[in-house]
Amino acid sequence: MIEDNYAVYRVGAGPLWENPAFNFNPSHLKIGSEGITGRVAASGAMVYLPDVREDPGYVEMQGSKTLSEVTVPIKVKDKVIGVLDAQSERVNAFDDTDLVVLQSLADQTAVAIENARLYRQAKQLAVVEERNRLARELHDSVTQALYGITLHAEAAFRQLDVRNIPLANEQLAELRSTAQEALREMRLLIFELRPSVVEMQGLVPALRARLEAVEERAGMNVEINVDENLELSDRIQDGLYRIAQEALNNALKHAKANEIILNLTGTMSRITMEIMDNGVGFKPEEAVEGGGLGLDGIIERAELLNGELTLDSWPGRGTTIRIEVPYE
C-alpha cells in the first residue's frame, strides 16, 4: 500500500510467505527509486520482469528465491493507492493470460478498497448527522419543556401569593405533565447517545434494550414477538433498527400511544418487521407529502434495503408500519 512516499508491504500469500527464512525486509520501498514496486507506484504502469537478475534496479527481499516478478498498480480514479505483486522462483513464469488475471485482480482490489473507504466515510458522516439531530432534538423538545416548566412554576407561585388555590393547582398539574414529557424526551436522548447495541449484540437485543429503556419506563405497554434464529447481515440489522427507532420515536412523541407491539419474523427469502401502536394516528398521504413524523427517513432506509414499506394509519385508530426486506 502507498503510505506517504513509500510502498509498504502489508499482506502476502503463497509458499514464499510460508517460508520461515523469509521476512518483509525491506518492508518499505521508496516510490520511484527502489525496486520494481517503487517504480510501479510512481509510474502507475504494470512492470513484468521475466528474469529479475537482468534488472539492475531489482531489490531482493531477504529469504526469497524470486526469479520472475510482475507488479501491477492498484488505482482509484487514476491515483495509485497500492500495488499487487506476484513472484515466482522460475524464469519466464508468467504469460499474457497471467498478466490479464493479475490486472483484473488489481482492479477488483481497488474497488474493494474504495468501497471500504466510502463506507467508513459514510459512517463518519452519519455520526455527525446524528449528533446534529440530537442537538436539534435537545433544543426543540427538552429546552422548550424546561422553559414551560419554569413558566408554570412562576404562574403557580403568583396564584399562591393571592391564595387562589384552584388556579395554582391547575398550573401545578400542567407543570407535572410538562415535566413528565421532558423526562420521556431525556430518556430517549440518553438512550440514543449510548454506543450502538446493534453493533455489539445484534438487532433483537438492541430492540429489546430500546423498548425496556425508553417505552416501558415511560409507562407504555410493550409486546415484542421475534424470531430469535434470524441470521441477518449487518446492513439489514442496522437499517431495520433505524426504521424501528424512528417508528417508536413517533409513537412516543407524537402518537400519544400507550401500547406498542413489535413483530419480527422471517421466511426463507424475506424478513418482515411490524410496529403497531394505539395512538392518535394520521393520514399517511398528508404526512408523506409534508415530510413530517420522520417518515422521509423511514422511506429512505426502506429503499436502501430494497424493502417494501406499508404505512397503515388513520386519525383515531393508531398506526402500523410494516417493512418486508429480502435476505442478502
The enclosing domain of 32 has a CATH number of: 3.30.450.40
pLDDT at 262: 96
Residue-wise pLDDT tens digits, 52-68? 888 887 777 766 788 89
Domain boundary among 193, 227, 261: 193
Domain boundary among 141, 174, 193: 193
Closest by CA to 89, choosing from 112, 60, 103, 68, is 68
**182 & 107 share domain:** yes
Task: Taking residues 145-165, report their average pLDDT.
Answer: 87
Range of the domain at 148: 95-193
Whether residue 278 has pLDDT greater than 70: yes
Q: 165-193 vs 96-137: helix axis angle to the nearest 10?
A: 170
**245 & 326 share domain:** yes
**152 & 211 share domain:** no
pTM above 0.85, yes or no: no
**130 & 237 share domain:** no
**203 & 324 share domain:** yes
**238 & 180 share domain:** no
pLDDT at 291: 58
Domain boundary among 193, 215, 244: 193
- The number of distinct structural domains making up the chain is 3
**256 & 238 share domain:** yes
When pLDDT is cut at 50, 70 and 90, the band that residue 16 belongs to is low
Whether residue 172 has pLDDT greater than 60: yes
**206 & 181 share domain:** no
Tell me the C-alpha distance between 59 and 56, whole Å: 9
DSSP structural state of residue 196:
P
User: Which residues partner with 254 through β-bridges?
Assistant: none
CATH number of the domain to which 309 belongs: 3.30.565.10
**248 & 152 share domain:** no
- For residue 76, what are the CA distances in angstroms to 4, 99, 220? 16, 19, 52
Min mean pLDDT across 16-20, 56-60, 103-107, 288-292 is at 16-20
Min mean pLDDT across 33-47, 177-191, 248-262 is at 177-191
Half-sphere exposure in the Cβ direction for 266 (13 Å, CA): 18
Bigger pLDDT: 27 vs 64? 64
Min mean pLDDT across 5-19, 98-112, 203-217 is at 5-19
**143 & 164 share domain:** yes
**118 & 204 share domain:** no
Question: Rounded to the nearest 5 degrees, what angle is found at the Cα of 198, between the Cα atoms of 194 and 199?
Answer: 90
Tell me the C-alpha distance between 322 and 230, whole Å: 17
pLDDT at 10: 59
When pLDDT is cut at 50, 70 and 90, the band that residue 38 belongs to is confident
Min mean pLDDT across 132-136, 157-161, 179-183, 287-291 is at 287-291
**154 & 243 share domain:** no
